[in-house]
Amino acid sequence: MQVAVVGSGYVGLVAAACLAEIGHSAVCIDNDSEKIRALQRGEAVIHEEYLPVLLERHGGRRLHFTTSLADGVRSSSIIFVAVGTPPSETGDADVSSLESVCVEIARHAEGSQLIVVKSTVPAGTNQWIRRVLHRNNGNGHRFDVASNPEFLREGTAVTDFLYPDRIVLGCDTETGAALLNELYRPLLDGSYAAGDEAVPVPDCAVLPARAIVTSSASAELIKQASNAYLAMKISFINAVANICEAGDADIEEVVEGIGSDRRIGSRFLKPGIGYGGSCFPKDLLSFRAVSRELGYDFRMLDEVMRINEDQRRRFVGKVRRALWTLKGKRLAVLGLAFKGGTDDVRESPAIAVIRSLLHEGCEIAAYDPAATARARTAFDPKAAIRFVESAYDAAQGADALLVLTEWEEFAALDLQRLRAQMRHAIVVDGRNVFSPESMAKAGFQYISTGRSEKMQDAHNVIQSTDAAA
């Protein structure tokens, strides 16, 4: 099929590349001419595993990039819309960019076309899109509208697209459902995964993918409810971690016990400094706004957001207790992205924590394997923060080292070398990247998430006893 994707962000770019990968001809459209030129040169403008492979494999052949929406949509039978829907001041999703795109599609489309919304939008958006298309359609063309929400995790977006848990097709007509089923057939019948050049199948993948056909309103709600539930799991386990710290329990043991229950599962039960990124914060605000508009006060969402914000303040409090006073302290920070595997710093809890520490008068040396370039723009050029080339550079002369993002690279650091670089052997781990045993053995004062200081002291005593023996 000939497919157009409007928007070259994390969702749109990955969708266009993956649609080309499963055999379709895809054109990705964006009004950012600099980004489009970079993509035409084959440059991956975001950090995503396997994306550079797909750009090299299909760029200029089955995958094209343009700034012309008119040229992109005219020959396409399916037009995906994947533009941003940021929160407004009231928390509602700002769908003005989505409306503008649909107006242009109505003016330039030719023939009968299916408009598919991939952006995260409030329930009922598809009905408004139908009205916008009808009001601005001066050529008498027929449009079908569907919702096909994405469930991509940044860092694993390509494999999430190609080996999804499910594909939700929010269609209000049989024609739209049939067209999308045909589009995704290589994933639904397993033929893509069986190919010799397919992207490697993740260990947890269930093949073939399952299609769930719903109404458009249900599909829109599935997306928002899914993200709200996942954010709730993160806030829940962070609240439990706080109880563990007060009650001398080990959150990692608690997570194993909870996650082993098949009714619950272990995914997203990872304690830390809170969720971030472009989806969860925005989608919770939007879901709460939609709920209130429909007459339901979804107060649980307020508590999820409150716990998330509190988790960052609690982490700064741990740093303060470890150093007594923060003013003038030199801190090494590992991690700037909102999670490992991506260069995205939008709503990153790491950035929020660093800003708090800078406000307290700290000096920061920060390192991230992928997100440094994007993180630079998040701070005032005069701020007391330096961006360095390695974790060891960050640790040089540091009063303490803070882990704010769970990159695998950090878990493999040479702890003895790290300690030798530091002024004081203090590590405050907001992501539980290290084990208390290994840190005690290396001689660190180690403060993590969901473990009491009494437990850490016990590990230090055990290591000292073993060393004496």
Bridge partner residues of 385 (DSSP): 364
Closest CA to 219 of 263, 281, 163, 177: 177
HSE of 244, CA atoms in CB hemisphere, 13 A? 20
Q: Which CATH class is domain 217-469?
A: alpha beta
Report, in angstroms and rounded to the nearest whole number, the Rg of the chain calculated over CA atoms.
24
Whole-angstrom Cα distance, residue 356 to residue 449? 19
Q: What pLDDT, on the 0 to 100 scale, is given for residue 467?
A: 47
What tokens appear for 205 in the block?
A: 């993948």
DSSP E strands, 302-458: 330-334, 363-367, 385-387, 400-403, 426-429, 445-447
Q: What is the pLDDT of residue 19?
A: 98
Could you list the beta-strand ranges (E) of 335-432. Answer: 363-367, 385-387, 400-403, 426-429
* 18 tagged catalytic: no
From the list 375, 367, 293, 373, the residue with the least C-alpha distance to 335 is 367
Active-site entry in 102, 244, 279, 362: 279
Q: Which residue has the tokens 């005593």?
A: 461
Number of helical H runs and strand E runs in the chain: 20, 14
**Which CATH superfamily hosts domain 2-214?**
NAD(P)-binding Rossmann-like Domain (3.40.50.720)
Domain boundaries, the chain: 2-214, 217-469
**Tens of pLDDT, residues 2-40:** 999 999 999 999 999 999 999 999 999 999 999 999 999
Q: Which of 404, 415, 405, 410 is nearest to 442 (CA)?
A: 415
Asked if residues 149 and 168 have their Cβ atoms less than 8 Å apart, the reply is yes
pLDDT for the residue 112? 81
Stretches where the chain sits below pLDDT 50 are: 461-462, 464-465, 467-469
Q: What is the pLDDT of residue 453?
A: 72
